[in-house]
Structure 1
Amino acid sequence: MTSTKRQETDPTEGRELTEMAWDPVTRIVGSLGIYTKIDFKAKEVVECHSTSSIFRGYSIFMKGKDPRDAHFITSRICGICGDNHATCSVYNQNMAYGVRPPHLGEWIINLGEAAEYMFDHNIFQENLVGVDYCEKMVAETNPGVLELANRTEAPHAGEHGFRTIGDIMRSLNPLEGEFYREALHVSRYTREMFCLMEGRHVHPSTLYPGGVGTVATVQLFTDYLTRLMRYVEFMKRVVPMHDDLFDFFYEALPGYEKVGQRRILLGCWGSLNNPEYCDFTYENMQAWGRKMFVTPGVVVDGKLVTTSLVDINLGIRILLGHSFYEDWEDQEMFVTRDPLGNQVDRRHPWNQHTIPRPAKRDFDDKYSWTMSPRWFDGKDYLPLDTGGGPIARLWTTALAGLVDTPNVKATGHSVLINLPRTATKPEVTFEWKIPQWSNALERNRARTYFQAYSAALALHFCQQALSEIRGGNTKTWEQFKVPDESVSCGFTEAVRGVLSHHMVIRGGKIANYHPYPPTPWNGSVRDVYGTPGPYEDAVQNTPIFEENTPENFKGIDIMRAVRSFDPCLPCGVHMSLGTGKVLKKLHTPHAFNGEYE
């Protein structure tokens, strides 16, 4: 953390405000800056601006490329969720080329993506965001809470093995904690699971439009399953452990539900296609989208307003707001009607033009390279967030009630997750229930439950893949031809939430290509209507519970709010040095007095 402090008097309310900035926010990848004004007397964040300091350029240099290279190129958008981009791009290309992969190829992709969810959510939850709740951090920011934690018996100690909440916190201490180290080991074999399916992590080497190049054998899926069952046993401890930890914070700090809380505006684009139904045609997209194993949808104030990928697609608007770009109002429109004949807006990604115009940061004008994606419901431009991915995925899936497999079931108000008997633990069923709030603790809790959800689905996918092989259906790829003209889109869920790729082909080449991952949605700036982005909104609604004085303030409540979204800035911005300026790092971010970061 590099922080700056400056006191001023709020002219409208006569309050004394302290300006504080965390730039860059640590334990994530990218250049996220959080700039706040805090009223320490009232113990609340009054104002927040979220900044991203490097430029996104993929939409520019994708033009003129062979569309068959799109997934290889867009995979490099991120070194963390590159496979999610490759997968989404392949879905996009399948629509453009009119190709439907063999079922076995799709089951393999699902197994790869499920492994990615397990890997990434585990390493973030336990080794990155979990540090915000470890003994060392709590001792520095809320010693009174730690004292209570050491006296509080863990309700599910029998399942996870930690007697007190304090013991759980000690297990999360970086490098020293038992659970911290165990999670690092888990991240190794979940990554191996991904590589078994798609060759390389995080830039797949066997993933193509039309399917995969993976050689599918019984041994391949057995190798995956042996690792998966270890993960299933691991999750039987993790879910009750995190329930105990997060429930404790509600009890220890009354009012903590307001940390990171914002209006319930959640977006999920769905993921893990069902090859029995998915033909990748735009005309049937609404139907096959609803058969996904994670249901697409938009939740507004707790109500599910749509599960249609066609509606979701047509509602996307890219607003510039306070970002460093010129408007494209007078530029060419690539698509006026979608393949179903619906009108397409000028601000839809199909019609976007990226025209960068760097300027000095000014919070009253332009202050970030991240644009402001919004979802238009016919009346309002909604600043949807993904909640870091899992809370939106589970919320939409639960409300829709469409998913029903032997291992997971959506009930209309919850999601049931069944994990079978493992080496040392019996069969167990977890139920994720729709929470009262969209806040920091519930985003984190959902991340744990979605790890179990992914594992349960992976068991189903393995069974389906093995059935294909035993039936002699070993083909994993289908041929295709690139058309001269096409309009297409792909939808899935990156680890952190909504991901869509939009492509226009002319003359057999890419004429326009825009990937929209979760970071621009979560980390967006104030739009043209003055509506703050989700990071900004969640932080400036956050009260301060930290016990430190302003002179020793670490901002742990603010960091918990931001990190609950699983922020990852590479997907929001990409570096451009122009003619080549030398950049020097002037400040070293720190946490725990510089010991760990």
Structure 2
Amino acid sequence: MAPTTKAAGDGSGLMEMSWDPITRIVGSLGIHTKIDFKAKRVAECYSTSSVFRGYSVFMRGKDPRDAHFITSRICGICGDNHATCSVYAQNMAYGVKPPHLGEWIINLGEAAEYMFDHNIFQENLVGVDYCEKMVKETNPGVLEQAERTEAPHAGDHGYRTIADIMRALNPIEGEFYREALQVSRYTREMFCLMEGRHVHPSTLYPGGVGTVATVQLFTDYLTRLMRYVEFMKKVVPLHDDLFDFFYEALPGYEEVGRRRVLLGCWGSLNDPDHCDFTYRRMTDWGRKMFVTPGVVVDGKLVTNDLTEINLGIRILLGSSYYEDWEGRDLFVARDPLGNPVDPRHPWNQHTIPAPQKRDFDDKYSWVMSPRWFDGKDHLALDTGGGPIARLWSTALSGLVDIGYIKATGHSVRINLPRSMTKPEATFEWKIPAWSNAIERNRARTYFQAYAAAAALHFTEKALEEVRAGRHKTWERFEVPDESIGCGFTEAVRGVLSHHMVIRDGKIANYHPYPPTPWNASVRDSYGTPGPYEDAVQNTPIFEENPPENFKGIDIMRAVRSFDPCLPCGVHMYVGGGRTLQRMHVPTGLSGLGG
């Protein structure tokens, strides 16, 4: 059943189309557009969220030691990233440094989460946007060309043509789709070996972990990891072939989802040889992370200093449903180094909800507008879904060199050792010409290999600790009456920070900032659109269907490349108060259901 459409009603000749929701977390993300079908381009885009979560409200007054257990429930997919980030913030606030082994175990858990989540998203969710059924439905001419195009790396992944790759991605019945589902099972097992339970860890605490570390534990992890290493040697060349083909088949496709290079990465995977979680040394130990933090503007590295990154964060309200807190008392006037902390910094934020009717000329979303202030402009940084920002920042800094991974200043080289049936392989992610849908997706594949390579290093370091008789995984601590802390890491989808203020031994203020507020943010106080809005409203339309049978695949590819969360149900709003309901299985295929 094809959706009906209606003119926007403003005399512009544009068509008003909306997808709401298009996310798998709570189903609260909506993308609202006006499309110029004559010019085959999206003219306007608005990103909305219909749900108020309120964690920053009900965290007040809680025991700080409960923070990671509570905040992991922010998300049913990347809850462990929140728990980890909260623990980092608590470590700083309590002044505790976990034992080395505890940190290696956390790194192994986080690496497993990257492998698990990127795999299931890339192959079983966003991959469906490029499968045979979807391409046949939206671009039959492209599928015909795919049938005639031999895959350059067929010897590595086993699929002779690009169309064979597309068929393998068909949901449920595709060979590669089913294989990836099996991978998601044992990567989740890897996480559970380290942190007890997925997705809300049961052995993760400030000061370390409660995991009992043995040679057998790390061997069980390593056997699964080597299966993943084997899988990556197939996955990286497969996706390179698929994504390169789209550039070839659709000249100009690099413009889909493209926006100015404004990338943020907060770094992840701490090195316990350097990280002591003190704020005064955060600049130094931040640069020793195995994923290097950084702000990248127009392809250039602006900073990789976590202290500078922290102080530059601003929370603007813009078009969101909140009252301003301007003029209220500051929780934190200066950081531990004596630097002034801005009133719009998360440490000083007050969350004052003001629900109201949605108005695209005024307030239209529950998502605020996080920005990074460079001293001159409030930059609408995006995470690119996580991996493109991580790889770009790490490549430019050139600081990571651990044998399995080397950042060169212009690329990241990933070395995967010999596995069961495949020889040693080296992959090199090179800084691309664009930050667009295709390159966000490509980076996700390379970062899967990156996470596997990092995990090999972490396993070796953890085994060194155990074999040397250093089995301690947790350090005692005391909760101070007054303190502040901040944690920085990378959730699967990108930047994640937790900011906490303790007074009288209780939480006085707590603000977590995951990647979605950055990516799905709305037009800010200066009128600057958020990343989804910016990327979509510049997107050309390559879909072959006429307006009356329009699926919006190019728009969906643009949004999904950021790794929001995908739909279990979608409805399309067609203007004039008329809504057409379309229920979907969680694959993104618009032709399923009725």
The TM-score bracket by the shorter chain reads over 0.9
Structure 1 segment 31-70 matched on structure 2, within 5 A: 31-70=28-67
Deviation of 1:6 (Å)? 2.4
| 2:373 paired with 1:376 | yes
| 2:593 paired with 1:589 | no
In the other structure, the counterpart of 2:477 is: 480
Deviation of 1:183 (Å)? 0.3
Instruction: Find the partner of 2:416 among 397, 416, 419.
Output: 419
Counterpart residue type for residue 587 of structure 1 = Q
Counterpart residue type for residue 433 of structure 1 = K
Provide the alpha-carbon RMSD of the alignment: 1.6
Counterpart residue type for residue 534 of structure 1 = P
In the other structure, the counterpart of 2:571 is: none
Deviation of 1:81 (Å)? 0.2
In 2: Cα distance, 1:182 partner to 1:415 partner = 27
Deviation of 1:24 (Å)? 1.1
In the other structure, the counterpart of 2:574 is: none
Question: Residues 407 and 57 (structure 1 numbering): CA distance in 2 closer, same or farther, change over 3 Å?
Answer: same
In 1: Cα distance, 2:543 partner to 2:566 partner = 26
In 2: Cα distance, 1:302 partner to 1:567 partner = 23
Spell out structure 1 runs of 4+ moving beyond 6 A.
Answer: 1-4
Counterpart residue type for residue 161 of structure 1 = G
| 2:437 paired with 1:440 | yes
Instruction: Find the partner of 1:540 among 514, 537, 540.
Output: 537
Instruction: Find the partner of 2:146 among 127, 130, 149.
Output: 149
Provide the secondary structure at the position in 1 that maps to 2:541.
coil
In 2: Cα distance, 1:250 partner to 1:439 partner = 12
Kept after mapping to 1: 8 A contact 2:412/2:430: yes
Instruction: Find the partner of 1:341 among 332, 338, 342.
Output: 338
Counterpart residue type for residue 245 of structure 1 = L
Deviation of 1:5 (Å)? 2.9
Provide the secondary structure at the position in 2 that maps to 1:587.
strand
In the other structure, the counterpart of 2:279 is: 282
What count of residue pairs does the alignment treat as equivalent?
580
Gapped regions of structure 1 (runs ≥ 5): 571-584
In the other structure, the counterpart of 1:78 is: 75
Provide the secondary structure at the position in 2 that maps to 1:375.
strand
In the other structure, the counterpart of 1:580 is: none
Kept after mapping to 1: 8 A contact 2:3/2:550: no
In the other structure, the counterpart of 2:576 is: none
Deviation of 1:413 (Å)? 0.1
In 1: Cα distance, 2:467 partner to 2:374 partner = 47
In the other structure, the counterpart of 1:496 is: 493
Counterpart residue type for residue 142 of structure 1 = N
Provide the secondary structure at the position in 2 that maps to 1:16.
coil
In 1: Cα distance, 2:66 partner to 2:202 partner = 12
Counterpart residue type for residue 40 of structure 1 = F
In the other structure, the counterpart of 1:188 is: 185
Gapped regions of structure 2 (runs ≥ 5): 568-578
Kept after mapping to 2: 8 A contact 1:29/1:569: no
| 2:391 paired with 1:402 | no
Kept after mapping to 1: 8 A contact 2:101/2:462: yes
Provide the secondary structure at the position in 2 that maps to 1:532.
coil
Deviation of 1:487 (Å)? 1.1
In the other structure, the counterpart of 1:95 is: 92
Structure 1 segment 248-267 matched on structure 2, within 5 A: 248-267=245-264
Structure 1 segment 188-587 matched on structure 2, within 5 A: 188-568=185-565, 587=581
Deviation of 1:568 (Å)? 3.5
Question: Residues 78 and 36 (structure 1 numbering): CA distance in 2 closer, same or farther, change over 3 Å?
Answer: same
Deviation of 1:68 (Å)? 0.1
1:344-365 deviations in Å (ceiling 9; x for gaps): 0000000000000000000000
Kept after mapping to 1: 8 A contact 2:582/2:593: no
Deviation of 1:27 (Å)? 5.6
Deviation of 1:596 (Å)? 6.9
Question: Residues 130 and 27 (structure 1 numbering): CA distance in 2 closer, same or farther, change over 3 Å?
Answer: farther
Deviation of 1:8 (Å)? 3.9
Provide the secondary structure at the position in 1 that maps to 2:581.
coil
Deviation of 1:10 (Å)? 5.9
Kept after mapping to 1: 8 A contact 2:85/2:487: yes
Kept after mapping to 2: 8 A contact 1:63/1:513: yes
Deviation of 1:17 (Å)? 0.3
In the other structure, the counterpart of 1:577 is: none
In the other structure, the counterpart of 2:572 is: none
1:488-533 deviations in Å (ceiling 9; x for gaps): 1000000000000000000000000000000000000000100000
Kept after mapping to 1: 8 A contact 2:502/2:508: yes
Kept after mapping to 1: 8 A contact 2:317/2:368: yes
Provide the secondary structure at the position in 1 that maps to 2:375.
coil
In 2: Cα distance, 1:237 partner to 1:413 partner = 24
Deviation of 1:332 (Å)? 1.8
In 2: Cα distance, 1:144 partner to 1:26 partner = 29
Kept after mapping to 2: 8 A contact 1:2/1:24: no
TM-score by length of 2: 0.96
Deviation of 1:217 (Å)? 0.1
Counterpart residue type for residue 531 of structure 1 = T
Question: Residues 423 and 263 (structure 1 numbering): CA distance in 2 closer, same or farther, change over 3 Å?
Answer: same
In the other structure, the counterpart of 1:106 is: 103
In 1: Cα distance, 2:185 partner to 2:502 partner = 39
Question: Residues 2 and 119 (structure 1 numbering): CA distance in 2 closer, same or farther, change over 3 Å?
Answer: farther
In 2: Cα distance, 1:113 partner to 1:288 partner = 18
Counterpart residue type for residue 581 of structure 2 = H
In 2: Cα distance, 1:74 partner to 1:4 partner = 41
Question: Residues 482 and 116 (structure 1 numbering): CA distance in 2 closer, same or farther, change over 3 Å?
Answer: same
In 2: Cα distance, 1:137 partner to 1:31 partner = 24
In 2: Cα distance, 1:391 partner to 1:6 partner = 37
Deviation of 1:31 (Å)? 1.0
Deviation of 1:589 (Å)? 3.3
Deviation of 1:9 (Å)? 6.7
Counterpart residue type for residue 214 of structure 1 = T
In 2: Cα distance, 1:7 partner to 1:559 partner = 21
In 2: Cα distance, 1:592 partner to 1:285 partner = 45
Kept after mapping to 1: 8 A contact 2:5/2:547: no
Kept after mapping to 2: 8 A contact 1:337/1:344: yes
Counterpart residue type for residue 190 of structure 1 = T
In 2: Cα distance, 1:66 partner to 1:464 partner = 34
Deviation of 1:16 (Å)? 1.4
Provide the secondary structure at the position in 2 that maps to 1:298.
strand
Deviation of 1:587 (Å)? 3.4
In the other structure, the counterpart of 1:6 is: 6
In 1: Cα distance, 2:582 partner to 2:505 partner = 48
In 1: Cα distance, 2:592 partner to 2:134 partner = 12
In 2: Cα distance, 1:540 partner to 1:504 partner = 39
Counterpart residue type for residue 84 of structure 2 = T
Identity across matched positions, percent: 83
In 2: Cα distance, 1:284 partner to 1:372 partner = 29
Counterpart residue type for residue 269 of structure 1 = W
Counterpart residue type for residue 439 of structure 2 = E
In 2: Cα distance, 1:308 partner to 1:404 partner = 19
In 1: Cα distance, 2:521 partner to 2:95 partner = 34
Stretch moving more, 327-336 or 356-365: 327-336
Deviation of 1:25 (Å)? 1.4
In 1: Cα distance, 2:511 partner to 2:480 partner = 19
